[in-house]
């Protein structure tokens, strides 16, 4: 059912509009009659265009069923304001325009710091509009979604301000009638403002809507609104109660599949005590909320001032540390003059001066130390992927690249914990709850932002958010030329550091974000390369190589592009997409070139270390390179991750597990790291702990291919063969591979006694290996399970000649425990460098 008032599309059996609450017309004939005179929608306004010869569009702020709102600069008064354009199909209804005119008349009466100011109602070429105060920040509904539940202090802090705004509007005879979190804006300093008096009406005179017409939003309606009766200030008190309920519980008191169910519950059903949903709420606060929600308006608080008074009493009883205070001090302060007699002041004054001098002397002698870098309590930050607001939605790679650049820059700051890309990007495209993200990543602040590219212009918006309460610590927007992207990233990083009050070592003006190229085209190509590299599929990696090589063509001195190229070849060789002899030499060439250009690149040292470990088998040199990378960039998770594998391959299990857990702490919700913690525990023969870790991985990602594969490894060694084969099949199904070509399953069949089936599979695998690369180490493991030692060592020698990366784990791989005492095995370990 489409509402004839606001044109919101409602479910077919709806009785009232979900958007504006108007009773819906069921008759199609009546609907057609009501809408036949509607005008065509207004043309969309874009940034930089001017409306009504006066308002230059900056950005679209939002839209609803009745209007679209823009942030604009009023050229006449040289200030930013909000411009609400009423949809043409809505404006064609004279009663609706009368309602908006009423909005302006009512709201203009109210001049209060907790009410958004309304300016003007106008018409431009048939388009009706309203201008109002622009309030930077977020509406309360979004904050609730981010935080989940507010603590008592934050709830009371905001609610007191809403009560003040309501008290002033009620004093002037104005009832809001649509109070809800969406209509309460919280600015960057934590100040709340009531907005949108679109359906407000005077208490003293009857409005333009008649008896029996429901006006409001169903989820927040008072019982008297549900019945279509005349309302007064107590209806706003009820809506305030619903809002308070949602703030402390994260839920509204009444829910239903259709608006009619909800409005009937407002009339007939008692709300659950909010303490049942959040036990942290003080009983007194719960009592205030339930009194606001009384069905009988005579039993509610009779004024907003009463509610505020009750909230102030509760605030005094909660711990001081839980309270919330204004973030900005008043510009002026009241002067207090006290007159003392000179004699009365003189002696105590001398005593006070003497005490101050004594304390200072003691401090100078015993306590004063050299200045040390100051790190605020908020010394952790997660950089979330930036949103692509470009009209064509084709700049995802740039959004990802900017976020990753900021992660890299902030990781270099001593004393600041920054989760790695894999963890923060796991929230990409998901509904964000700031509190939950903060909890999962164990950070106290989040940086989120957006990128908008239009032609050669770039707009980046960034905001720093406190994860405890969803409040903005800092925000800014940057309107520049596209080529200024490097400078903008550094400005954002510097602003974050300043906001977090972290004192940097070295030169204060030194840039945090290092520009590895000044060529914008090369930078874009590099970002595209990383975008495909992060996907990790065989075809994606080929595309990554193309983009990295094109970036190098544009700027041959672009060290990061060479580093990206090295990483790509390593993944191709490590995951057996390419034979090691094809992949690793190319990787080494690229890594060395990156270091030739920039000898301080931790990423390139990590790549070089991985090559020395997995391909050259120079374990001592590999460890030196890993240590160098970690010294340069201690917060670089991949360095710790790959170093852990080096330590594991040498049998240094305790060090390996400690190192990979550091990587996990730096990248806490990365399934790949969690799964490999399980793998290293498997190599250490700690099978129960490995199963526990792998179970945690599947909680992060139930479809993680490697986790299922590693479960198969563990179950095979613990004798649970059916579980092992089932786990391998799940992994193969997720990867969309051929189970008949699985050396893992052939290995388990042999262990389980189905040697005929194992040999049949193995024959097919060996034939297939003649046309496509299959690890010789994995084939050798099947022969080991079949008990054919001669074939085991024949295939291991073949693996040695191929420089098979699987050989680096030979010393610790449980599949070869049965042959580890064989002299040929020990000799092979010596050739590889794993034994002296």
Q: What is the pLDDT of residues 588-639, one digit of tens each?
A: 999 999 999 999 899 999 999 999 998 999 999 999 999 999 998 888 888 9
Per-residue pLDDT of 782-830, as tens digits, reads 999 999 999 999 999 999 998 888 899 999 999 999 999 999 999 999 9
- Spatial distance between the Cα atoms of 26 and 329, rounded to a whole number of angstroms: 55
- Residues 254, 223 contacting (CB under 8 angstroms): no
Both 756 and 620 in a single domain? Answer: yes
Does 211 map to a domain?
yes
Identify whether the C-beta of residue 135 lies closer than 8 Å to the C-beta of residue 185: yes
- Do 97 and 141 lie in a common domain? no
Counting residues of the chain whose pLDDT is more than 70, the rounded percentage is 79
533 domain residue, yes or no: no
- pLDDT at 640 (0 to 100): 94
Residues 173 and 111 occupy one common structural domain: no
Mean per-residue pLDDT, 524-553: 85
Report the pLDDT value the prediction gives residue 474, as an integer from 0 to 100: 73
Segment among 115-119, 201-205, 723-727, 797-801 with least mean pLDDT: 201-205
Question: Could you tell me if 175 and 62 are in contact, meaning their C-beta atoms sit under 8 angstroms apart?
Answer: no
Residue that finishes a domain, picked among 276, 304, 322: 322
Cα atoms found within 13 Å of the Cα of residue 759, Cβ hemisphere only: 8
Residues 6 or more apart whose Cβ sits within 8 Å of residue 339:
none
Q: Is residue 520 part of a domain?
A: no
In the chain, the N- to C-terminal Cα span, in Å, equals 80
Residue ranges of E strands in 341-471: 381-383, 387-388, 445-454, 457-466
Catalytic annotation present for 178 = yes
Full residue range of the structural domain in which residue 77 is found: 50-133
Tokens of 312: 């102030």
Q: Are residues 127 and 168 in the same domain?
A: no
- Least confident interval from 50-54, 376-380, 599-603, 765-769: 376-380
pLDDT at 11: 63
**Same structural domain for residues 661 and 715?**
yes
Contact 607, 591 (CB under 8 A): yes
Same domain, 141 and 126: no
Q: How many domains does the chain have?
A: 4
Q: Which is more confidently placed, 476 or 211? A: 476
- Is residue 641 a contact partner of residue 673, using CB atoms and an 8 Å limit? yes
Same domain (yes/no): 129, 143:
no
Say whether both 595 and 667 belong to one domain: yes
Helix (H) or strand (E) holding 336: none
Q: Under a CB-based contact definition with an 8 Å cutoff, are residues 208 and 99 in contact?
A: yes
Predicted pLDDT at 212: 41
One domain, residues 655 and 741: yes
Q: How far apart are CA 118 and CA 132, in angstroms?
A: 4
The CATH number for 78's domain is: 3.30.200.20
Quick: pLDDT tens for 26-81: 444 343 333 333 333 345 678 888 888 888 988 888 776 567 888 889 888 788 88
Asked if 182 and 66 touch (Cβ cutoff 8 Å), the reply is no
The 10 Å Cβ neighbour count of residue 461 is 18
Q: Is residue 532 part of a domain?
A: no
Q: Is residue 665 part of a domain?
A: yes
**Per-residue confidence band for 761, with pLDDT thresholds at 50, 70 and 90:** very high
Helix (H) / strand (E) containing 427 = none
Residue 15: its pLDDT value, please?
A: 59
Task: Give the pLDDT mean for 512-536.
Answer: 78
- What is the pLDDT of the chain when averaged over all its residues? 80
Residues 708 and 600 reside in one and the same domain: yes
Instruction: Give the length of the chain.
Output: 836
Supply the CATH number for residue 767's domain. Answer: 1.25.40.10
- End of a domain among 118, 133, 148? 133
Between CA 767 and CA 756 the distance in angstroms is 17
The enclosing domain of 486 has a CATH number of 3.40.50.10070
118 and 59 fall within a common domain = yes
Query: What confidence score (pLDDT) does residue 137 get?
Result: 82
Check pLDDT > 50 for residue 149.
Answer: yes
Q: Look at residue 571 in the predicted model and tell me its pLDDT.
A: 87
| Residue 671 confidence (pLDDT) above 60 | yes
Q: Any idea what the CATH number is for the domain that residue 215 is in? A: 1.10.510.10
207 & 280 share domain: yes
Query: Are residues 545 and 565 in contact, defined by beta-carbon separation less than 8 angstroms?
Result: yes
Residue 153 lies in a domain: yes
Averaged over 420-446, what is the pLDDT?
Answer: 78
- Starting at the edge strand found earlier in the chain, the sheet holding 192-194 runs 137-139, 184-187, 192-194
Q: Do the strands 457-466 and 445-454 form a parallel or antiparallel pair, or are they unpaired?
A: antiparallel
DSSP string, 804-820: -GGGGGTTT-GGGGGGT
Domain boundary among 273, 292, 322: 322
362 within domain boundaries = no
The answer to whether position 316 is within a domain reads: yes
Q: Is the pTM of this model over 0.75?
A: no
Of 13, 74, 178, 701, catalytic: 178
Residue 337: what pLDDT?
Answer: 33
């Amino acid at each position: 059912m489409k509402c004839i008032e606001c044109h919101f599309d409602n479910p077919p059996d709806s009785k009232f509009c979900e958007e504006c609450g108007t009773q819906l017309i069921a008759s199609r004939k009546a609907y057609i009659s009501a809408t036949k005179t509607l005008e065509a929608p207004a043309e969309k306004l874009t940034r930089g265009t001017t409306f009504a010869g006066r308002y230059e569009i900056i950005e679209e702020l939002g839209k609803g069923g009745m209007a679209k709102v823009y942030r604009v600069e009023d050229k006449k008064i040289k200030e930013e304001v909000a411009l609400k354009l009423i949809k043409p199909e809505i404006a064609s209804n004279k009663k609706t325009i009368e309602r908006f005119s009423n909005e302006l008349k009512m709201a203009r009466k109210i001049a209060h710091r907790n009410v958004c100011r309304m300016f003007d109602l106008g018409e431009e070429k048939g388009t009706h509009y309203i201008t109002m105060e622009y309030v930077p920040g977020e509406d309360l509904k979004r904050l609730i979604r981010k935080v989940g539940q507010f603590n008592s202090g934050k709830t009371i802090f905001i609610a007191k301000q809403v009560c003040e705004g309501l008290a002033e509007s009620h004093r002037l005879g104005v009832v809001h009638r649509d109070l809800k979190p969406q209509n309460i804006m919280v600015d960057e300093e934590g100040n709340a403002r009531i907005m949108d008096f679109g359906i407000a009406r005077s208490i003293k005179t009857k409005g333009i809507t008649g008896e029996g017409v429901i006006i409001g939003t169903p989820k927040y309606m008072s019982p008297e609104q549900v019945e279509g009766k005349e309302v007064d200030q107590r209806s706003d008190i009820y809506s305030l109660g619903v809002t308070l309920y949602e703030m402390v519980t994260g839920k509204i008191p009444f829910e239903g599949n259709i608006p009619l169910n909800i409005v009937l519950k407002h009339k007939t059903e008692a709300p659950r005590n909010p303490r049942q949903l959040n036990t942290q709420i003080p009983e007194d606060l719960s009592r205030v909320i339930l009194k606001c929600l009384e069905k009988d308006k005579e039993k509610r608080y009779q004024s907003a001032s009463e509610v505020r008074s009750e909230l102030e009493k509760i605030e005094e009883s909660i711990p001081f540390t839980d309270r919330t205070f204004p973030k900005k001090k008043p510009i002026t302060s009241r002067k207090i003059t006290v007159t003392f007699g000179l004699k009365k002041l003189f002696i105590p004054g001398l005593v006070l001066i003497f005490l101050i001098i004594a304390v200072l002397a003691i401090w100078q002698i015993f306590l004063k130390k050299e200045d040390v870098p100051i790190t605020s309590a908020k010394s952790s930050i997660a950089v979330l992927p930036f949103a692509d607001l470009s009209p064509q939605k084709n700049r995802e790679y740039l959004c990802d690249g900017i976020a990753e650049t900021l992660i890299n820059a902030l990781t270099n700051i001593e004393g600041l914990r920054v989760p790695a890309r894999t963890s923060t990007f796991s929230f990409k495209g998901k509904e964000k709850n700031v509190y939950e993200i903060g909890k999962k990543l164990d950070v106290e602040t989040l940086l989120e932002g957006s990128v908008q590219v239009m032609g050669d212009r770039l707009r980046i918006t960034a905001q720093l958010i406190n994860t405890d309460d969803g409040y903005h610590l800092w925000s800014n927007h940057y309107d520049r030329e596209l080529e200024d992207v490097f400078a903008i990233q550094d400005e954002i990083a510097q602003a974050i550091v300043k906001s977090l009050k972290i004192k940097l070592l070295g030169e204060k003006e030194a840039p945090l974000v290092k520009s590895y190229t000044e060529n914008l085209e090369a930078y874009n190509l590099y970002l595209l390369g990383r975008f495909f590299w992060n996907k990790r599929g065989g075809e994606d990696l080929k595309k990554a190589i193309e983009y990295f090589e094109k970036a190098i063509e544009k700027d041959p001195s672009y060290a990061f592009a060479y580093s990206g190229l090295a990483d790509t070849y390593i993944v191709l060789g490590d995951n057996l997409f390419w034979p090691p002899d094809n992949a690793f030499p190319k990787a080494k060439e690229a890594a060395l070139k990156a270091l030739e250009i920039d000898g301080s690149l931790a990423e390139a040292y990590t790549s070089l270390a991985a090559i020395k470990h997995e391909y050259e088998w120079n374990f001592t040199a590999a460890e030196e390179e890993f240590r160098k990378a970690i010294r340069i960039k201690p917060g670089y998770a991949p360095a710790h991750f790959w170093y852990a594998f080096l330590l594991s391959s040498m049998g240094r299990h305790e060090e390996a597990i400690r190192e990979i857990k550091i990587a996990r702490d730096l990248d806490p919700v990365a399934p790949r790291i969690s799964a490999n913690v399980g793998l290293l525990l498997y190599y250490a023969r700690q099978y129960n702990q490995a199963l526990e870790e792998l179970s945690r991985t599947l909680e992060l990602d139930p479809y993680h291919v490697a986790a299922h594969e590693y479960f198969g490894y563990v179950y095979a060694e613990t004798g649970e063969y059916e579980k092992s084969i089932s786990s391998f099949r799940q992994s193969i199904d997720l990867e969309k591979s051929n189970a008949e070509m699985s050396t893992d399953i052939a290995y388990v069949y042999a262990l389980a006694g189905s040697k005929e089936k194992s040999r049949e599979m193995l024959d097919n695998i060996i034939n297939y290996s003649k046309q496509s690369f299959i690890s010789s180490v994995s084939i050798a493991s099947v022969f080991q399970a079949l008990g054919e030692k001669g074939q085991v060592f024949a295939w291991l020698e073949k693996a040695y000649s191929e420089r098979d990366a699987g050989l680096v784990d030979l010393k610790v791989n449980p599949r070869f425990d049965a042959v580890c005492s064989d002299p040929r095995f020990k000799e092979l370990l010596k050739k590889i460098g794993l034994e002296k």
